[in-house]
Chains A and B, each alone.
Chain A
Amino acid sequence: MENKHITIFHGPQHPGITGNMSIELDLIGETIQKATTHVGYLHRGFEKLIERRTVIQAFTIVCRICVPEPDPNEANFAMAVEELAGLEVTPRAQYIRVMVLELSRLAAQFLWMAGQSGSIGLYAVGQWAIADRDLILDLFEELTGARVYHMYIYPGGVRRDLPEGFLERVTTLLIYMKKRLKDYDDIFINNASFKNRAVGVGIISKEEAVANGYVGQVLRGCGIKADVRKDAPYLVYNELEFEVPTQTTGDVYARALVRRAEMDQSLHILDQVVRKMPEGKVMIKIPTHRKFKLPKDDTWVKVESARGEFAYYMAGDGSEKIRRMQVRGPSLVHAYTLLEDLLIGAELSDVALIMNSLGICPPEIER
């Protein structure tokens, strides 16, 4: 019997999709002929809303740009504002920021692990990973007062000092995580069913990855040592010792291994941060929200999020409002140029697998 050419929508309501987006798939049999990404289901017009608000007011909205990992946004925003306004942050605040960023990276990797394992039906991993992520969220709740949207990294520092005994609790968590991550190796990373599904699927070539501006695990998975923390160190990352893990094959499994190795590196960084945490103030004096003015200038700042380089373009115009803020997250190019390319010739059952390995996060594509 001849296979019919059909078009189906993978999402937005679909368990195997990373958030609220959809992919239109042209299929013959189970093989994908053409994939078209559709986004916009989460478009809120952040860039317009930020133009309407003063700097201090806009600070609360930026963390909503990427839901699974809000802290890189806050850090980026704060760094851009500080650069434009010429503020210098205290060392303690910088160390606390690094700690928050690394904890959130760890949390995002756990969320990825749950999604990636769920995409091939290993649901036990998801149950564990989300529960372990919650332990990090508990720490966040203690530090910042909220579980997910922390609104903590503020232009000029961080909003609260560390609560008493917080560093000890971080250390306890680190010891637990170090032990726990081995279990994930056993049941997920080394799992034969994951390997057999993931090896050789969704291969990206090195040249393409460089030319098309892919970032994060996609780059590192095909052997390029690119990491903003090393290439253009921000905060105090140049005082900390860590490695950039890479793989060479460029497939889904390579990206999984890179992420797993990054979790180890995050633990290593956190270990150093806890030991090196300096004393001092966490907040410098900044003007009130009607008087906080940015000069007519622009800048481009970037941080390394759990999914790769996350960059902001910010332009001030001499008033207390931001003239323009453009978000350039990792997902925009990944979800269109990369995903549409990778899916051609792939099987329908691999769509969720490939998508999860790229770490696509829709709210940051359309903003």
Chain B
Amino acid sequence: MKWSVDLKGTLSPLSIITAFWLKPNTIAYPAVKKETAKGYRGFHTNFLADCIGCANCQDVCMNDAIDMIKTDKEYNSKNTSQCIPRIDYGRCCWCSLCTDVCPPNSLKLEDDYLNVTKHASDFLYMPKDKE
């Protein structure tokens, strides 16, 4: 390898100095929070007044992430199996196929996505009852 004199190539990188006058593009995260876009695929919500317990979401989930369970919550009278979905976030990949196949459109994804925990058992998640 030999070094050849390349004046343009040597001087042009110095234009990076002009970047001193640029506005920083950093999002100072904990202080400044960037809003997620509309329709971001975050955690699940399940509007219980609509949920019919059909287990379509469980059927379509290729990750086996959805359990249909019984809880002491009050259900929709149309809920034939008296079960509602619970999501295992140790499996979920946020593909939103489950929300696509939901017949009454009660299962949705919200824009919240933060869950940081020491305990792996915290990843079993009951969707919030939210329209």
Contact = CB atoms under 8 A, between A and B. Distances in A.
Direct contact of A and B (CB under 8 A): yes
Interface string B6-23: 101110110110000000
A187 B18 CA distance: 11
B69 interface: no
A299 interface: no
Given A195-B9, A196-B3, A56 B38 contact: no
B33 to A, nearest CB: 14
A60 B38 contact: no
Please classify the interface of chain A as helix (H, G, I), strand (E, B), loop, or mixed, using the class held by over half of its residues.
Answer: helix
Contact of B13 (A54, A149, A186, A197): A186
A338 to B, nearest CB: 22
A115 to B, nearest CB: 18
B41 A191 contact: no
Interface stretch (A20-28, A137-145, A243-251, A263-271): A137-145
Interface string A42-61: 00000000000110111011
Interface in A235-275: none
Nearest to A200: B1
Contacts of A151: 95-96
Contacts, number: 75
Interface string A294-315: 0000000000000000000000
A288 B16 contact: no
A193 B39 CA distance: 45
A283 B10 CA distance: 52
B4 interface: yes
A286 to B, nearest CB: 11
A192 B101 contact: no
Contact of A186 (B15, B60, B97): B15
Given A57-B62, A58-B62, A187-B12, A192 B38 contact: no
The interface size bin for chain A is 35 or more
A232 to B, nearest CB: 30
Nearest to A54: B62
Contact of B101 (A146, A149, A197, A288): A288
A154 to B, nearest CB: 9
A317 interface: no
Please classify the interface of chain B as helix (H, G, I), strand (E, B), loop, or mixed, using the class held by over half of its residues.
Answer: loop
B29 to A, nearest CB: 13
Interface in B18-54: 25, 36-41
Interface in A126-177: 131, 138, 141-142, 145-146, 149, 151, 159-160, 163
Contacts of A138: 37
Interface string A183-199: 10111101111011100
Contacts of B40: 141, 145-146
B15 A192 contact: no
A181 interface: no
A282 to B, nearest CB: 14
Nearest to B9: A192
A124 interface: yes
Interface string B83-118: 000000000011111001100000001000000000
A186 B62 contact: no
Nearest to A146: B41
A192 to B, nearest CB: 3
Nearest to A196: B3
A196 B93 contact: no
Given A53-B62, A56-B60, A124 B37 contact: no
A289 interface: yes
A145 B39 contact: yes
Interface of B: 1, 3-4, 6, 8-10, 12-13, 15-16, 25, 36-41, 59-60, 62, 93-97, 100-101, 109
15 contacts: A56-B97, A58-B62, A60-B62, A60-B93, A60-B95, A131-B25, A142-B39, A145-B109, A151-B95, A186-B16, A191-B13, A193-B13, A196-B3, A196-B4, A197-B1
Given A145-B37, A149-B93, A185-B12, 7 more contacts: A58-B62, A142-B37, A145-B40, A146-B41, A187-B12, A191-B12, A192-B13
